[in-house]
Amino acid sequence: MRTRLLIGTCGVSLALYGAVLLLTRQDPGQWFEVGVWLGVGVVAHDVVLSALVIGACVLGSRWLPRPWRAPALVALVVWGTLTVVAVPVLTRAGARADNPTLLDRPYLATWCTISAIVVLLVAVTGLVRSRRPRVRE
């Protein structure tokens, strides 16, 4: 209980600090744009991303054998997060012709490698879990 209270207090404190910074360091004309940005983020997460994850979990729970469900769910969350974070560099958003040092790494190859590692870990974990004797509850 104390840990949750401490974490909650830290979260509320950081949110209040962010609100103070927003209100004191931004022009009042930008507050509406920040609100729109936050609102679109909430809608994109709650309506689009959550619906896709829940749908994938429901399908996975029906099609996948029991030992494979948890590793597949973890992989979905990890891979989905990696992909969302990688979208700006994969699409080369922000690249400029006058500065070739921006986005000069093999981001697609890196994303593919990390995706392959996630798939490999799911395969290994699923195989290990499927080979274990089942314990009746």
103-114 per-position pLDDT tens digit: 888 999 999 999
Residue 86 included in any domain = yes
Helix segments in the chain, DSSP class H: 2-25, 28-43, 50-63, 66-90, 107-131
The pLDDT value given to residue 99: 86
Axis-axis angle for helices 28-43, 2-25 (nearest 10): 140
Considering its fold, how many domains does the chain have in total? 1
Residue 14 included in any domain = no
SS3 (DSSP) at 99 = strand
Residue 49 included in any domain = no
The Cα 130–Cα 85 span in angstroms is: 32
The pLDDT value given to residue 137: 57
Residue 70 included in any domain = yes
Residue 1 included in any domain = no
Stretches where the chain sits below pLDDT 70 are 135-137
The Cα 31–Cα 28 span in angstroms is: 5
The DSSP call for residue 1 is -
Residue 50 included in any domain = no
- Measured CA to CA in angstroms, residue 108 lies from 78, 88, 92, 120, 127 at distances of 17, 11, 10, 18, 28
Residue 72 included in any domain = yes
The pLDDT value given to residue 34: 85
Residue 104 included in any domain = yes
The pTM for the full model equals: 0.63
Give the range of the structural domain holding residue 85, as residue numbers without chain letter: 65-137
